[in-house]
Amino acid sequence: MVSGIEGLRDIHGIPGVPWWPPAPGWWLVAAGLLGLLSALWYWRKAIWLRIPPIPVFRLGTWRWDAARQLRELRRRAGKQPPKQTAAELSELIRRIAMARFGRAACAGLTGAAWLAWLKEKDPRGFDWMQQGQVLLEIPYAPPGAGAQKEALYPLIEALHAWIAAEDPDV
């Protein structure tokens, strides 16, 4: 038998925590992130309608406000009559054009001259003369002309791209 100091054993530290397998809490975090990503993927269309898809928008600018109004119009377009959607879209196009190019450049334009001006100024080359005719025809269409409602969606998308484009002419 050993007595005194010789009988003492040295202190042993606890072993290190291995990095794998992770603790149950990390499994829950991983499952939650996977569930969140799955939900975002499933509802991506609904989320896309509410989030500004173009990063050039800055809070408080006319672009930000126009993009917000355009998203709201896109959301309401399926629920309201095409005449109302076309009227709101025409007003929004006019306001965006005046914000980009000034009142003197576009405020007096109407009809085919307005569509030609839009086609000339569109940075993405959208065919406003052909596809924009619906803006001239819907106000005079008979009630219940629902076939023209789908013709407004490409105009909304083109206007969204027009908002996001840089201003080379200004």
Residue 1 above 70 pLDDT? no
Structure-model confidence comparison of residues 137 and 4, the more confident one = 137
Tokens of 82: 């095409």
Which pLDDT score, from 0 to 100, does residue 146 have?
Answer: 58
pLDDT per position as a tens digit, 75-103: 898 888 888 888 999 999 999 898 888 88
**Contact present, 82 and 144 (Cβ < 8 Å):** no
pLDDT of residue 140: 82
**What integer pLDDT is reported at residue 169 of this predicted model?**
46
Interior CA angle at 114 toward 86 and 90, to 5°? Answer: 20
- Please give the structure tokens belonging to residue 11: 């202190």
What mean pLDDT do residues 5-14 have? 82
Look up the pTM and report it: 0.61
pLDDT tens by residue, 45-63: 666 666 555 555 555 678 8
pLDDT-based confidence at 14, cuts 50/70/90? confident
Q: Which residues contact 30 (CB under 8 A, 6 or more apart)?
A: 22
pLDDT at res. 99 = 85
Nearest to 85 by CA among 145, 130, 162, 161: 145
pLDDT at position 170: 41
Q: Of 80, 84, 69, which Cα lies nearest the Cα of 159?
A: 69
d(C-alpha 135, C-alpha 115), whole Å: 9
